Structure 1
Amino acid sequence: MNSSFSAPGIPPGGPHRPRPRRTARSLTAVAAVAAVALGGAYAAGLGPFEGDTGPDPGAVAEARAFLADWAAGRLPQAAARTTGPDRAEQVLASFTTGLDIGAPRLTAGKPEETGDGTLTVPFTAKMPVTGLGTWTYTSELPLREQKDGAWKVDWTLSLVHPRLTGTEKFRLEREETAPVEVTGRDGETLSAATHPSLAPVLDRLAQGADGGPRGAVRLVDRETGEVLRTEATFGGKDTDADDGPVRTTLHAGWQSAAERALGKADGKNAALVALRIDDGEILAVANAPASGFNRAVSGTYAPGSTWKIVTSTALLLKGAVAPDDVVDCPRYLTVGKRFQNVETSEHPGATFRKDFTESCNTAFISLRGKLGDGELGEVAEKYFGVGQTWHVGVPSYDGSVPVPRDATEKAASMIGQGRVQANPLIMASVTATAVSGTFHQPSLVAGTEDTTGTTPLPPEVVTRLRALMRATVTEGTARVLAGLPGDIGAKTGTAEVSDDQENNGWMVAHRGNVAVACVVEEGVTGGGSAGPVIRSLLSAVPEN
């Protein structure tokens, strides 16, 4: 099966006037930079720039903003930043659709002045090709100053990929693979017919943990279709039918309940993972829509306030705060930008326990000075395994907690925003680790390699985390789960995406030996969107 990307060439840009050298005074402005990540764009300061030489900060900011918009799928906005907005929007959309590319990860490099009044910003593109793998390449953005002094990306096909031209295009080729039987933990057969949202998982499991479907991205002649070169190949080992079915850790009952529960997401894109706390074995992986991208395991989202479980762990490990300490929760707090609580709520004189149960952003941000700049990421990796390489049995995204680039980004990371990235698999694992004290690498099949190395949490920290999560159900933002049988603990989350999109809604929960995490894209609030999904799931499965 082949699919292709095609866009006609465009005429080269016309003459331009040289960019005048900026004076020191003109360089005092601080440009905003949009971070490039799936699931949201985040504004942070670029500057300050010093001296009267070096790249114009406005040009660099425009390049980064273009990459951020492209990565986030805001193609009209990205195109508007170019000298050819109509053609740019058409090409970017065709490139993504024609090659089955999901959410790109675009990383800007060091800008270079070309000496002819233009500026070049190189970037690395990591393009996830649905069901195959990631196509990685480098390209560069040319920027040209306009007559009004603003900078724009000088549109050309080659900025999308250096080999994309008016005479050459890319074509995606997939190899058909024979179906292989996949069974659950009790031996029952699992299929896309009986469990539709498992389709992207079963496709990968059928090829083996170290294999995968085969395919390639080819560069071809636009007129003849002749293959000129192979840009990327994807593939794995053949599966021998005589080896028998692929046995998984999935539980048919939990999987069915998870898929029904996603019906509570009201047709929005959503994903859910349920796993065993004591060994990390995955009981259910559900995605809505059912076909296509496995957002539950491979998605990249800002986890929002569910991340406060990790932030609280870091603070409790240092003795920087105790549940009964007063940590005021004002309506707003400014750290480079204004942060606020959901629905601009406030809780004067609140304790840290109250801040956790009501998910107070401003209170958590006010404690940022208690942690070193890289400490949140260190705790996430050391105790929760986040950012280490996981061998789940299918391709997975294992999280990222970069060191903040400035005070604003550090404030955002305290509440699971900025460049902190996770998905339901990661957050279900985080929940399991928090309430048990021990990280277990999640797994979908038995015998997966485990190269992670973590340290158990101190028992007193685990006790406090469990109490905080239980209180969130009995008296906080996870009250939607109150009344269900069992000693349930939970944490809600609301994650900003962009100015023109509603927030993503999150909830994590645990009961008995199971931890669950759910995200609902544009769900507005965690309690209002992910909450009903998890309540439906826990209502339909045994308490233990």
Structure 2
Amino acid sequence: MTDAAPLTGHGHRPDGDGPGRIPDGQGHIPDRQGRRPARKAPRVVIAAGLALAVAAGIAYAAELGPFDPGPAVPDPEATKQARAFLADWEAGRMSRAAALTSRPEEAERVLNSFTAGLDISGPTLTAGAAEAGEDGTVTVAFTAKMPVTELGTWTYASAVPLRKQDDGAWKVDWALSLVHPKLSGTEKFRLEREESAGPEINDRHGNALSSRAYPSLGPLLPQIAGGSGAGPRGAVQLVDRATGEVKGTEASFGKKSDRPADKPVATTLDATWQSAAEKALAAEADGKDAALVALRIDDGEILAVANSPSSGFNRAVSGTYAPGSTWKLVTTSALLLKGAVAPDDVVDCPKYLTVGKRFQNVETSEHRGATFKKDFTTSCNTAFISLRDKVGDQELGDVAGKYFGVGQKWNVGIPSYDGSVPTPRDETEKAASMIGQGRVQANPLIMASVTATAVSGTFHQPTVTGDAGDTTTTPLPREVVSQLRDLTRATVTDGTASVLADLPGDVGAKTGTAEVSDDAPNNGWFVAYRGNVAVACVVEKGVTGGGSAGPVVRNLLGTVPDDPS
């Protein structure tokens, strides 16, 4: 024990009056008169030692204090292997996922049959805590969100067991219960669908809509029907493998409708615009993943929702993207609202600007001595970032919510992601948020709405069913709206959105290029308005907005020359 040395006399022990007394040859410290202390001190030491020993024994028995080794710490390599397995399974790379297990052939067969047999597409598998077992195994918990096509999402919890092999490597210790805790050699899952033709769904003019005629509406029509109180229903059931007897229901989807089966569901969609939007993506997106939304400016009614590919995830309405420079509509609004800048003010546009990291313009362009209007029309990142001190840390988010409705709960009529503008965590992130990067998140639905609000001054919650939402916003001042319209118009006539320059009428636009990662091509963005219609398009890995998303929007507006009634 570290505090026992002074009791045995090794070294000096000063008192409160002066220098310490020197021990005699036997290690005893004499008092001031030179007398040796009484011999009962060793008994105190022995007694103290016994007390400590007894206490230590009690502590050891109770597994307390320094004698408790604590829980075993999971090997990080095991956790890494579990996460790799889940990532491959999530991405549909079944053979790669199975190769990480102790029984690859069986694992691949089961993973494929589980997802295909239950019509699961695009699962989300989120790893949780890791725990080390007494036998040397490691278990990593995970949450599974399994979207069942046209029905809904089945969510449950399970765990990945891992065992160290003779060669020191970790493998997933394959078991059926890994896939789902109730999956076993005697019980399996079965998907039961309740066949229902469902109600007819019409566009704004009473024209029937179908997934055959408009492929992008395939995933949306059941959601619209479901939102109207009808739609497909089904269940995931646990059944006996041998007899087929139902042992229980794990998930139920859909509900019965109070609507008469022969009563159609009306939508705000326009068959002409929907068809043109799908054809524009097919013709101009170059086979890349892309999405587009067109809506009416004066009431927020959605005219078209198109995705490429047309089946599966609805990236147009539910996607989460950095909107890139199209977000400068919001940033510019924040600056204009407080008079922090005017279109004719000089705001230099250098090639680079460092704020924790180096920011640059597309193709490292620069415009020395440029006005703010020039910065907007050429989409100068460094100029906008240089104005970051003109707005408060929370101000972009406040403006986005107060005037544009971004981040509020929208009642679109189909599942939607309604945007997020978190408060920046540092100056670098604030700089990024000024140009629609960092943690700012949006999608074509949000950016079409932002465009409509910017050029009209009033937010109208987007809807596909005509139902008004309960969002609360404040109109933009008329002067700000006039400046935004001038800036977006100049972007078409003299800036990066020149792809629309040959279209007749009052057409305005804003381009955007959004970084995804250091080793992936940028996403291309393009937003525009013409008459009473606002459009937003994103092309993943499109490199630039003007070069990838711009032609899509040009194709659409050129094909449908008239605004819908």
Shorter chain as denominator, the TM-score bin is 0.7 to 0.9
Deviation, 1:436, is: 0.8
Q: 1:272 aligns with which of 292, 298, 311?
A: 292
Per the alignment, residue 530 of structure 1 pairs with 549
TM-score (norm 2): 0.72
Q: 2:316 aligns with which of 287, 296, 299?
A: 296
For residues 77-119 of structure 1, give each alpha carbon's deviation from its aligned partner in whole angstroms, at most 9, with x where no partner exists.
x979x8989899998888766655555667787x788798999
Residues 1:311 and 1:131: Cα distance change in structure 2 (over 3 Å): farther
Per the alignment, residue 181 of structure 2 pairs with 163
Residues 1:242 and 1:226: Cα distance change in structure 2 (over 3 Å): closer
Letter paired with 1:348: R
The yes-or-no answer on 1:197 pairing with 2:251 is no
The yes-or-no answer on 1:315 pairing with 2:332 is no
Whole-angstrom CA distance in 2 between matches of 1:364 and 1:96 = 47
SS of alignment partner, residue 190 of structure 1: coil
Q: 1:475 aligns with which of 459, 484, 494?
A: 494
Q: 2:225 aligns with which of 192, 206, 223?
A: 206
Per the alignment, residue 542 of structure 1 pairs with 561
Whole-angstrom CA distance in 2 between matches of 1:145 and 1:333 = 49
Residues 1:370 and 1:238: Cα distance change in structure 2 (over 3 Å): same
Per the alignment, residue 270 of structure 2 pairs with 251
User: Is the Cα contact below 8 Å between 1:332 and 1:338 reproduced in 2?
Assistant: yes
Letter paired with 1:163: P
Whole-angstrom CA distance in 2 between matches of 1:298 and 1:247 = 22
Q: 1:430 aligns with which of 443, 450, 457?
A: 450
Whole-angstrom CA distance in 2 between matches of 1:215 and 1:75 = 27
Per the alignment, residue 402 of structure 2 pairs with 382
Deviation, 1:528, is: 1.2
Per the alignment, residue 307 of structure 2 pairs with 287
Per the alignment, residue 494 of structure 1 pairs with 513
Whole-angstrom CA distance in 1 between matches of 2:242 and 2:510 = 56
User: Is the Cα contact below 8 Å between 1:71 and 1:103 reproduced in 2?
Assistant: no
For residues 267-322 of structure 1, give each alpha carbon's deviation from its aligned partner in whole angstroms, at most 9, with x where no partner exists.
22222111110011111222222333332222232222212212222232233333
Deviation, 1:255, is: 2.0
Q: 2:435 aligns with which of 395, 402, 415?
A: 415
For residues 361-415 of structure 1, give each alpha carbon's deviation from its aligned partner in whole angstroms, at most 9, with x where no partner exists.
3333333333333332222222111222222222222222233344443333332
Whole-angstrom CA distance in 1 between matches of 2:174 and 2:347 = 53
For residues 426-455 of structure 1, give each alpha carbon's deviation from its aligned partner in whole angstroms, at most 9, with x where no partner exists.
111111111111111112123x25121111
Per the alignment, residue 255 of structure 2 pairs with 236
Q: 2:379 aligns with which of 328, 353, 359?
A: 359
Q: Percent of counterpart pairs with the same letter?
A: 69
Letter paired with 2:343: P
Per the alignment, residue 523 of structure 2 pairs with 504
User: Is the Cα contact below 8 Å between 2:85 and 2:97 reproduced in 1?
Assistant: no
1:338-349 to 2 correspondences below 5 Å: 338-349=358-369
User: Is the Cα contact below 8 Å between 2:183 and 2:189 reproduced in 1?
Assistant: no
Whole-angstrom CA distance in 1 between matches of 2:334 and 2:159 = 39
User: Is the Cα contact below 8 Å between 1:496 and 1:504 reproduced in 2?
Assistant: yes
SS of alignment partner, residue 484 of structure 1: coil
Letter paired with 2:457: G
Residues 1:536 and 1:321: Cα distance change in structure 2 (over 3 Å): same
Residues 1:170 and 1:306: Cα distance change in structure 2 (over 3 Å): farther
Residues 1:208 and 1:142: Cα distance change in structure 2 (over 3 Å): same
Letter paired with 2:318: S
Residues 1:233 and 1:540: Cα distance change in structure 2 (over 3 Å): same
Whole-angstrom CA distance in 2 between matches of 1:398 and 1:64 = 33
**Alignment root-mean-square deviation, CA:** 4.3
Letter paired with 1:191: S
From the CA coordinates, give the structure whose radius of gyration is larger. Answer: 2
The alignment covers a number of residue pairs equal to 489
User: Is the Cα contact below 8 Å between 1:171 and 1:217 reproduced in 2?
Assistant: yes
Q: 2:481 aligns with which of 462, 468, 476?
A: 462
Whole-angstrom CA distance in 2 between matches of 1:72 and 1:373 = 36
Residues 1:408 and 1:200: Cα distance change in structure 2 (over 3 Å): same
Residues 1:162 and 1:378: Cα distance change in structure 2 (over 3 Å): farther
Which structure's relative contact order is higher, taking Cα pairs within 8 Å and 6+ residues apart? 1
Per the alignment, residue 186 of structure 1 pairs with 205
Whole-angstrom CA distance in 1 between matches of 2:535 and 2:126 = 32
Q: 2:326 aligns with which of 297, 306, 309?
A: 306
Whole-angstrom CA distance in 1 between matches of 2:332 and 2:139 = 42
Whole-angstrom CA distance in 2 between matches of 1:91 and 1:413 = 44
Whole-angstrom CA distance in 2 between matches of 1:223 and 1:335 = 65
